[in-house]
Amino acid sequence: MSEADLRAELEQLRRENDALKKTSARGLSMKVSEKGALSIYGLGRFPVTLYKEQWTKLLAMAEEIKTFIHANDSQLKAKE
């Protein structure tokens, strides 16, 4: 790699590092994966990665998911 390439890569890594430092108060962040999917970081050990249409379907079910969680609260465990 040339010196210019190394400098460009270093600058890109600095920008990415700054972006990671600016994550929300909940510690969640989003990133577009190499394959074009949306990855959510900070929910667990690994990111949750879905394609656009999968996120759209999931978000359309938000109220149904909330109702299900409420109805099954006694059976569901909470991560502490």
Tokens linked to 67: 């109702």
- Has residue 80 got a pLDDT over 90? no
- Give the per-residue pLDDT at 53: 98
Q: Domain coordinates of the chain in residue numbers?
A: 3-71
pLDDT in tens, 4-63: 999 999 999 998 887 767 655 568 889 999 999 999 998 888 999 999 999 999 999 999
* Under 8 Å between Cβ of 66 and 77: no
DSSP, res 72:
T
Distance between CA atoms of residues 23 and 30, nearest Å: 9
| Sign of the alpha-carbon dihedral angle for 70, 63, 79, 26 | negative
- Give the per-residue pLDDT at 24: 55
